[in-house]
Structure 1
Amino acid sequence: MLLEKMKKGVGKVVITILAVLLIISFAVWGIGDMVTPGGNINQVAEVDGTAITQREFQDQFQREMNRIRARIGNIDAQQARNLGLADSTLNGLISRRLLGLQASDLGLLVSDEQVIEQIQRQPAFRNALGQFDRSMFQITLANNGISERAYVASIRQDTQQDYIGGVITAGAAAPPQLAETVYRYRNERRSADVIKIKRASAASAPNPTDADLNAYLEKNADQFRAPEYRRFSILHMDPVQVAKELSPSEERIQREYEDRLSGLSVPERRRLEQILIKDEDAAKKAYASLTEGRSFAAVAKDTTGKSADEIKLGMVTASDLLADLATAAFALQKEQFTQPTKSPLGWHILRVTEIQPGREPTLAEVRTTIVNDLSQEMAQDDLVTRANRVEDALAGGASIEDASQEAGIRITKTRPIDIARKVQSGGAATGLPEDARFIETAFSLNKGATSDLVETADGGYFMVRVDEVIEAAKRQLDQVRNDVVAAWKTQKLNDIAKKTAEEIRDAAKGGTPLAEAGRKYSLAVESSKPVSRFGTGTDNIIPRPLLPALFKAKTGDIVMQQTADGYAVARIKDIQNNPPPADDGDFKRLQETLTSALANDVLSEYTRALRNEYPVSINQAGLEAYFSGQGYGSR
Structure 2
Amino acid sequence: MLTALRRLASTWVAKLLFVLLISSFAVWGIGDTIRNFGQDTAVARVGGTPIEMDEAQAAVRREMQRLSRQVGGQFENDPRIRRAVAQQAIEQLVLDRVLRGEARDLGITVPDEAVRDFIFSIQGFRGMSGQFERAVFENFLRTNDMTEGTFLALVRADLARQQLALAVRSGATAPEVLTKPLLQWQLEQRSAALVTLPLAAAPEPPAPEEAQLRRFHENNPDRFSTPEYREASVAVLTAERISREVEISDADIAAAYESRRNQFETPERRALAQVLVQDEEKAKAIAAAWSGGADFAAVTREAEAAGGQALELGSLDRAGLPFPQLAEAAFGTAVGSVTAPIRTDFGWHILKVESAEPGATRPLTEVRDQIRTDLTAEKAADLAFERANQVEDALAGGATLAEVAQRFNLGFAAIRTDANGMDPEDKPVELPVIEAARAPLLRAIFTAEKGAAPRLAETEAGFVAVDIKEISPPALRPFESVEPLVREAFIAEARRRSQEERAAGLLAAVKGGKSLADAARESGFGVREVGAITRDQRDGAIPPELLAPLFELKANEPTMAQTQDGYAVAQLLEVTRPDPGTDAAALARLKAEVTQAMAGDLETEYVAALRNRADVRINPRLVDNLAQP
The normalised TM-score by structure 2 is 0.49
Between Structure 1 and Structure 2, the one with more helix by share is 2
The normalised TM-score by structure 1 is 0.48
